[in-house]
A and B are shown apart, each in its own frame.
Chain A
């Protein structure tokens, strides 16, 4: 850029940044972004009452989007916050991870940043090419201000007892894990690397998406591509294949990985072998093995794009899942699973607080099957991959990622020959076993289907009691009866209510607390005394008319 042009550019950028600075924007903006460092016990109720939503949960604070008129009310309710920005329609917000003290090359650029916690910044901009102003390396997550629900909405933290069903399937899971073939992983990583770049928005990235779609179809799965637009001008697509569940196909376990890549010269070269051909190859290999099996619940195999731009592909998928009320049991996201480095061979299993049960289950199921060490990390600030798009929408999700620093990260040298495919194979084995356990390999007898729950409350002047009515379909094969289980938390631990198997296909559970929700599952018991998997879970009032 010639000097004169550059001066004009910076002048304009400065003007824009001044105009969009919080103070200048306050008068016109209808809402504010707040940082809440101390979420008190009643915060979610106060936020809901104020029409505010949690945009991002971090380890030390929450980022909350609240209408301006609600701020005095929040303050009156004892919520302490600092206003960070006043969003306007044409401003985009990002979460930025940077190890630099100053993440921007120039303070006068068309992007503004505020430190939220150690190395994590909130940035906002109106400029399309703002990435030029960021000192590499950095990680970005685009923030959606409108559609984010409070993460607690789906909170479900089951106890260790509920892993029993998953653990019972141990030998079967070991058999599945043993089928993971290192040569398959190598072939797919190489094929993806050979696209030279998979930088989202490039034709090569689109071709890589087509390649993945073809691979799913080659395996014999129904697969589709799902195009989306990001940053108002670029196109890319997610690829989803589904192994339909046999008992409750509406419930889904999702294995996902991003197939796009980036680098220091991403339009030309971004082989992204570790980041994230490794995770993509893992999803393809899981598809190959799991497609041959039958499960109670559906398994979704999802390869998303535009992760490197700010998690756009997974946000697109998770947004729609939330809108459609999709029942996603759990999401296993794999991102960089083939570079253990010189350190101990450790795969981090990253969850947020609501997904801690999933991290525990992952380790309980998978650690006996692999030699690499699985390390649980509960840290909601680790939001730099696609699991975080699901966290934001209340789904349980975790990220499997190598516990090392890959020196080739986001460089043209992130190539297959730098990888440890033995480590990757074990990471895939672990993840595959967990996905299979969550989807429940079908049992004999089959898990009961069609469980419906209705509840009514009987109230007197001083007391109330709830009664729950359960009904389900009779199993096709002859069974001696059914056991009914109840929990006051979604996903258990469940208490068995029936002493002997119930012959009928209905059950009445009475004298329950009216203000409490209850969750039920069933098992079928056959004439040899074998007990089925749990049925899909229902909430007591799920089918109330």
Chain B
């Protein structure tokens, strides 16, 4: 129960922040609106809120997870853009007990995940606010560490993602990005679930800068 409360509080705080900030950004965008940005290349950074898709993942890593991402994008034309991104997240958790005898005896864990994402966005329309749909593949490099004992698992897993979001222009070079992504990253292990999935929902908010 504690888990759910903690996570939903964090999610609510994050959503509140997004909804408070979006009008501000939009207003700024409206103020600075002019000609379409001439740049075709972008770099950007986002911060997200990650909600693990798998129940067993959420039981083990119950705390809020805020991934950071760097993006490099290229608008091929007015409809299609491609991007590469690198994301990192880290969180801590506790082992889950089966056949519980001593509920207090769990092991502390640390989870680290680096993801490289390659994707393609399709722009529904482009104006000050430009919504898009996207999809792509990801490669994941993970390390799960038991902090009290010398036990760590490192590995790689690949998966895919789909996403939807929008960009909002802020002046000539800057844009605000908000997107919701669903990813699936199947893996194999000897843990709580024999088929852990490292994916889930990721809501992120960030800034992009047009460079060329």
Please encode chain B, from 182 to 199, with 1 for each CB lying within 8 Å of some chain A CB and 0 for all others.
000001011111001000
Does A459 contact B146, Cβ atoms closer than 8 Å? no
Q: Compute the total of residue contacts between A and B using a CB distance below 8 Å.
A: 85
Which positions in B face A, CB cutoff 8 Å? Answer: 56-57, 60-61, 93, 95-102, 105-107, 109, 111, 144, 146, 149, 151, 153, 155, 187, 189-193, 196
Q: Does A454 contact B (CB under 8 A)?
A: yes
Instruction: Please report the C-alpha to C-alpha distance between residue A544 and residue B102 in the assembled complex, in whole angstroms.
Output: 11
Task: Collect the chain B residues with CB atoms within 8 Å of residue A454's CB.
Answer: 101
Does A544 contact B99, Cβ atoms closer than 8 Å? yes
Does A461 contact B57, Cβ atoms closer than 8 Å? yes
Does B98 contact A463, Cβ atoms closer than 8 Å? no
Task: Collect the chain B residues with CB atoms within 8 Å of residue A459's CB.
Answer: 60, 95-98, 191-192
Please encode chain A, from 457 to 495, with 1 for each CB lying within 8 Å of some chain B CB and 0 for all others.
111111111010100000000000000000000000000
Task: Collect the chain A residues with CB atoms within 8 Å of residue B189's CB.
Answer: 461-463
Residue of A nearest to B52 (CB): A461
Q: Does A5 contact B (CB under 8 A)?
A: no
Does B102 contact A463, Cβ atoms closer than 8 Å? no
User: Residues of A within 8 Å of B, CB-based: how many?
Assistant: 20
Instruction: Please report the C-alpha to C-alpha distance between residue A457 and residue B190 in the assembled complex, in whole angstroms.
Output: 12
Pick the residue among B99, B100, B101, B107 that contacts A460 (CB under 8 A): B107
A460/B105 contact (C-beta < 8 A), A465-B151, A511-B149 known: no
Does A458 contact B97, Cβ atoms closer than 8 Å? yes
A464/B192 contact (C-beta < 8 A), A458-B96, A458-B106 known: yes
Task: Collect the chain A residues with CB atoms within 8 Å of residue B99's CB.
Answer: 455-457, 541, 544
Does B196 contact A461, Cβ atoms closer than 8 Å? yes
Q: Does A514 contact B (CB under 8 A)?
A: yes
Instruction: Please report the C-alpha to C-alpha distance between residue A464 and residue B56 in the assembled complex, in whole angstroms.
Output: 13
Q: Does A233 contact B (CB under 8 A)?
A: no
Does A462 contact B97, Cβ atoms closer than 8 Å? no
Instruction: With both chains docked as a complex, state the minimum distance between the C-beta of B10 and any C-beta of chain A, in angstroms.
Output: 20
Instruction: With both chains docked as a complex, state the minimum distance between the C-beta of A520 and any C-beta of chain B, in angstroms.
Output: 15
Does B97 contact A457, Cβ atoms closer than 8 Å? yes
Does B102 contact A469, Cβ atoms closer than 8 Å? yes
Task: Collect the chain B residues with CB atoms within 8 Å of residue A467's CB.
Answer: 102, 105
Does B107 contact A456, Cβ atoms closer than 8 Å? no
Task: Collect the chain A residues with CB atoms within 8 Å of residue B190's CB.
Answer: 462-464, 514-515
Instruction: Please report the C-alpha to C-alpha distance between residue A462 and residue B111 in the assembled complex, in whole angstroms.
Output: 11
Task: Collect the chain A residues with CB atoms within 8 Å of residue B56's CB.
Answer: 461
Question: Which residue of A456, A511, A545 has the most chain B CB atoms within 10 A of its CB atom?
Answer: A456
Instruction: Please report the C-alpha to C-alpha distance between residue A463 and residue B102 in the assembled complex, in whole angstroms.
Output: 19
Does A465 contact B101, Cβ atoms closer than 8 Å? no
> Which 7 A-B residue pairings sit nearest by Cβ, starting from the closest?
A462-B189, A458-B95, A459-B192, A462-B153, A457-B98, A456-B101, A454-B101
